[in-house]
Amino acid sequence: MSNTNSLKSVCIFCGSGHGVDPLFAQKAGELARLLAARKCRVVYGGGSVGLMGIVAREAMDAGGEVIGVIPESLATREVAQEEITKLHVVKSMHERKAMMAELSQGFIVLPGGIGTMEEFFEVYTWLQLGIHDKPVALYNTGEYYDGLKRFLLQMVKQQFLKRETYDQLIIETVPDNLLTRLEEGVANSRDFLKKDLS
């Protein structure tokens, strides 16, 4: 395990469901405990259900710090997680994502649905455009993101995505390796986020 402490706050994007494979829940909890052990704050979408809830509860149970950010419209539907370090209730999805990005040094994407994909592609696009230079990682548990990886490589092949942009994306299946690469990315980052995200 790395002893570096450069990674102090990471944003987790993940599903509000559990998925079919129990491996997804198992690995989400494992990652949350590992982040807590490394004294790395978890920033996430504020829900208590699905993988989101597992990440929050496991990190808190392991003595970690958890910050939730949830829009008013989803606070009831996703059953906002109250028993965390701090819960921000904001006006909109846009404000939610902007705050999560601002509070984090990097991003980890766990299995999830179209909402998770929308969050991933937005911060990945921001990286490409230079809106931030924070590391973005796919935690590819159970080969969940193999298809996405092939699709991104197809974008590269067809010259819709630059190879250097693809190479900036961290894709890992082993949590220690994932966090080590995130730490390296944070060490090389200026940790900025342009305020004008419109």
Tell me whether residue 192 is exposed, middle or buried, using C-beta atoms within 10 angstroms of its C-beta: 0 to 12, 13 to 18, 19 or more: exposed
Given a cut of 50, whether residue 1 has pLDDT beyond it is no
Ramachandran bin of 130, using left for φ above 0, alpha for ψ from -120 to 50, beta for the remaining angles: left
Instruction: Tell me, yes or no, whether 196 lies in a domain.
Output: no
**Averaged pLDDT score across all residues of the chain:** 93
Residue with tokens 């979408």: 45
Contact by Cβ (8 Å): 114, 14: no
- Whether residue 78 lies inside any domain: the answer is yes
Output the six-digit token pair for 62. 């392991």
User: In the chain, how many H helices and how many E strands?
Assistant: 8, 7
Asked if 68 and 46 count as a contact pair (C-beta separation under 8 A), the reply is yes
Q: Which residue has the tokens 């701090």?
A: 86
Residue 4 domain flag: no
Instruction: Please give the tally of structural domains in the chain.
Output: 1
3-state secondary structure of 44: strand
**71 located within any domain:** yes
- The per-residue pLDDT for 39 is 96
For residue 7, pLDDT beyond 50: yes
**Does residue 195 sit within a domain?**
no
Which two tokens mark 117? 């994909």
Expressed as residue numbers, the domain containing 134 is 9-187
User: Which two structure tokens, joined as six digits, stand for 129?
Assistant: 């455009």
In CATH, what number is assigned to the domain containing residue 152?
3.40.50.450
Percent helix, strand and coil across the chain, each to the nearest 5: 45, 20, 35
Determine the 3-state secondary structure of 9 from DSSP: strand
**What pLDDT shows up at residue 94?**
93
28 lies in a domain?
yes
Is it the case that residue 192 has pLDDT exceeding 80? no
Cβ density class 145-161: b for 16+ within 10 Å, e for less = beebeeebeeeeeeeeb
Rounded to 5 degrees, φ, ψ at 90 are -115, 175
69 in any annotated domain: yes
Position 191 confidence tier, pLDDT thresholds 50, 70, 90: confident
Q: What is the pLDDT of residues 142-180, one digit of tens each?
A: 999 999 999 999 999 999 999 999 999 999 999 999 999
The closest of 197, 181, 156 to 189, measured between CA atoms, is 181
| Within a domain: 198 | no
Beta bridge partners of 67: 43, 86
pLDDT tens per residue, range 57-103: 999 999 999 999 999 988 877 678 888 999 999 999 999 999 999 99
